[in-house]
Amino acid sequence: MELLVKGQQKAYENGVNALDVFKDLDPDARKTAIAARLNGELVELMAPLHQGGELVAVGFEDEDARHLLRHTASHVMASAVKNLFPKAKLAIGPSIENGFYYDFDVEEPFQPEDLAKIEKEMARIIKKNDREERFVLPRSEAIALMEARNEPYKIELINDLPEDEELSFYRQGDFVDLCAGPHLPSTGKIKAFKLTSLAGAYWRGSEKNKMLQRIYGTAFMDKDEMEAYLARIEEAKKRDHRKLGRELDLFDLMDEGPGFPFFYAKGMVLRNILEDYWRQIHRKAGYEEVKTPHILNRSLWEQSGHWENYRENMYTLKIDEQDFAIKPMNCPGGILAYKRRLWSYRDFPLRVGELGLVHRHEKSGALHGLMRVRAFTQDDAHLYMTPEQIKQEIIGVYQLEDKVYKTFGFSYKVELSTRPENSIGSDEMWELSTQALNDALDEMRVPYTINEGDGAFYGPKIDFHLQDSLGRSWQCGTLQLDMNLPERFDMEYTGADGQKHRPVMIHRTVLGSMERFIGILTEHFAGAFPLWLSPVQARILTITDRADEAAKALKGQMEEAGLRVELDLRNEKIGFKVREAQMMKVPYMLVIGDREAQEQTVSVRDRKGNAHNGVSHEALISALQKEVADKALVQTEAF
């Protein structure tokens, strides 16, 4: 068979492996590759090749190859655990985003100090550089092997696999594990690893099953890269919005209402600022605002397709012996609002926004602070248009999303999600909708990736993935083109020809969920919000009680100017007051002593420790008003 490597083509015997081919045609790749792609498909370096084509070496930059390395690391960890705790039973050990884990059934729970012992044993195994050898067994022999090794969880997995499923194993020294692969050629390819945490996990994710012990870890090809990643993780812990929400008295979640957030006074200030900003930009973009009911009857959700396709995520109830549902989405209510009258093509495009509270039944294990909740406010909008207006409206939505994300300092990536398996509507509608999104993105020259099969059940969509200050990705805004619901709800408008026509509909969010966006902002800014978003913009601190009246007067002036100010008149040392305000992430601390009270000035300190003395009240208020008006992301020095 013929194999092509970097423009060099050569004939090889059937069964040759990629490592030997690279040794022959690309020696550098042999040293750096952790896997290969044959005609685009990922293959192990040691796997026998049975077809010709283009062979490309891949390293840690390849996402699939990263999973391969981390999956191998999970086997190394399992091998180390078995060496140290011979009675441990193996469950599963997959790679995950940025790492891996393995679940074990052990007599006594692992302790944090055990991680260091396991890491030391892993290092010994990696240094041995054992080969990862794949072999296949018939079902009866596979079960016998696992019985001999006393691995009941592996036997259960084998019995649950289809009869025609190939049962493959990997041997690494004395360690053997049931595994579909793929793996690195040997353990020595793992250059850097770290075990990060312990957790409990039910077998197969069911609380009816036994609680197992889960060890998490991560692995990299480069130690410096791993250290940088671990540093980001530590920074992320400091920025955890759940922790900051409590510390800054913004919001919290309680056991009495899992998935149902509490917002406190300062959190409501932040939330209302965001809602005011949302309304302002939408008015400028030609949107009107509506509010639709939280509870609507079953027939509506059957007509929309939610009852059939989304039922397990909906909260339902009975009213007057009829089935109702608390809305998981705003769209059907928005459609009823549209159908209240007959529209003309002259009314289009019609842009309608709604800050709508929705409820979705998320599994308890999936809940995570404000990022995944059961009750949240979607900043929805539904746009209605003629087919000729589709491209221009998509472009308009994109430009609005772009403006908002830049205001908060986010960069973002765009993803086009196509038809899912549970879709409704005709092939023709899906083809037209998907092509319209493609064409609009191409016309704007927006780079994007295709996410096959991840569209909404009623239409394809564009998703916006924000990049925060730690480089993490958050999916927020979405733009969904829909020709199906207008058909299902018999929506109409009068065209220029006087005849009835079907409108085209766009579903769209910008912030996505108000709660989730607040969580993202909290972590993005580490709680130190820019001035225009800060619940408290300045705190006035007095050095002696002789300055109290001047402080109160300044507070009145600033509030009259539209600024949010707190007073700290306590009989405490000024250093203590400043440190406390800094801990509460207050943007500006305004210190008033005897001299400042007499001169009607303040000493201004910002969160970073910069100080400006002798600032007049007028200059202070003017500078802060400008910083707010500009929605500046950095603090002013123009005092």
Q: State how beta strands 288-289 and 350-359 pair.
A: parallel
* CB count in 10 Å sphere of residue 285: 15
**Type of residue found at 508:** R
In this structure, what DSSP letter does residue 432 have?
A: H
| Choice among 66, 70, 189, 378 that is catalytic | 378
Nearest to 405 by CA among 510, 509, 508, 506: 510
| Distant-in-sequence, close-in-space partners of 386: CB < 8 Å, separation ≥ 6 | 345, 348, 493, 495, 501, 503, 504
In angstroms, the Cα distances linking 316 to 171, 307, 312, 325 are: 51, 10, 10, 4
In angstroms, the Cα distances linking 324 to 309, 360, 529 are: 16, 14, 41
Catalytic residue status for 294:
no
Residue 345: HSE in the Cβ half-sphere, 13 Å Cα cutoff: 13
**Type of residue found at 555:** K
Average pLDDT estimate for 43-65: 89
Domains along the chain with CATH numbers: 2-59 (3.10.20.30), 66-234 (3.30.980.10), 251-291+344-524 (3.30.930.10), 538-629 (3.40.50.800)
The two tokens of residue 553 are 């007067």
Taking a C-beta distance cutoff of 8 angstroms, is the pair 246, 254 a contact?
A: no
Q: CA torsion sign, 173 to 177 to 183 to 188?
A: negative
pLDDT at 97 over 80: yes
**Type of residue found at 150:** N
| Distant-in-sequence, close-in-space partners of 27: CB < 8 Å, separation ≥ 6 | none
Catalytic residue status for 280:
no
Catalytic residue status for 382:
yes
Average pLDDT estimate for 268-294: 97
Report the chain's mean pLDDT, rounded to a whole number.
93
**pLDDT band at residue 594 under the 50/70/90 scheme:** very high
Catalytic residue status for 461:
yes
Give the distance, in angstroms, between the CA of residue 391 and the centroid of all CA atoms in the same chain.
28
The two tokens of residue 261 are 């957030």
Residue 511: HSE in the Cβ half-sphere, 13 Å Cα cutoff: 29
Higher pLDDT, 425 or 447: 447
Taking a C-beta distance cutoff of 8 angstroms, is the pair 591, 568 a contact?
A: no
Q: State how beta strands 601-606 and 565-568 pair.
A: unpaired
**pLDDT score for 428:** 83
The H-assigned helical ranges of 444-539 are 485-488, 514-524
Give the distance, in angstroms, between the CA of residue 118 and the centroid of all CA atoms in the same chain.
31
Catalytic residue status for 454:
no
As a residue count, the chain comes to 639
Query: Which of 68-82, 176-190, 248-262 has the least mean pLDDT?
Result: 176-190
Catalytic residue status for 548:
no
CA distance 385 to 348: 5
| Choice among 26, 114, 130, 380 that is catalytic | 380
In this structure, what DSSP letter does residue 347 have?
A: G
Catalytic residue status for 500:
no
Q: State how beta strands 461-467 and 588-592 pair.
A: unpaired
Three-state secondary-structure class, residue 412: strand
* CB count in 10 Å sphere of residue 175: 20
| Distant-in-sequence, close-in-space partners of 306: CB < 8 Å, separation ≥ 6 | 314, 325, 328, 329, 332
**Type of residue found at 3:** L
Average pLDDT estimate for 120-141: 94
CA distance 180 to 186: 16
| Choice among 461, 585, 605, 612 that is catalytic | 461
Digit-coded pLDDT (tens) for 23-39: 888 888 877 888 899 99
Taking a C-beta distance cutoff of 8 angstroms, is the pair 326, 314 a contact?
A: yes
CA triplet 624, 626, 632: central angle to 5 degrees?
90
The H-assigned helical ranges of 248-387 are 265-284, 298-304, 306-309, 331-338
Query: Which of 21-30, 223-232, 286-295, 358-367 has the least mean pLDDT?
Result: 21-30
Taking a C-beta distance cutoff of 8 angstroms, is the pair 492, 502 a contact?
A: yes
Average pLDDT estimate for 55-75: 90
**pLDDT score for 459:** 84
Digit-coded pLDDT (tens) for 191-206: 999 999 999 999 988 8
**What torsion, rounded to 10 degrees, do the Cα atoms 631, 632, 635, 639 define?**
-80
* CB count in 10 Å sphere of residue 530: 21
Most confident range (mean pLDDT) of 295-309, 354-368, 526-540, 603-617 is: 526-540
The two tokens of residue 109 are 């729970």
Instruction: Give strand pairing partners of 207.
Output: none
Higher pLDDT, 62 or 88: 88
**pLDDT score for 357:** 97
Q: State how beta strands 538-542 and 565-568 pair.
A: parallel
- DSSP result, 354-404: EEEEEE----GGG-BTTTB-SEEEEEEEEEEE-GGGHHHHHHHHHHHHHHH
**pLDDT score for 65:** 87
**pLDDT score for 189:** 87
Share of the chain above pLDDT 70, in %: 100
**pLDDT score for 59:** 86
Q: State how beta strands 538-542 and 411-417 pair.
A: unpaired
The two tokens of residue 449 are 């990736």
pLDDT at 638 over 80: no
pLDDT at 376 over 90: yes
Taking a C-beta distance cutoff of 8 angstroms, is the pair 452, 421 a contact?
A: no
Average pLDDT estimate for 414-418: 92
| Choice among 359, 507, 539, 617 that is catalytic | 507
| Choice among 75, 82, 266, 382 that is catalytic | 382
**pLDDT band at residue 540 under the 50/70/90 scheme:** very high
| Choice among 266, 271, 360, 419 that is catalytic | 360
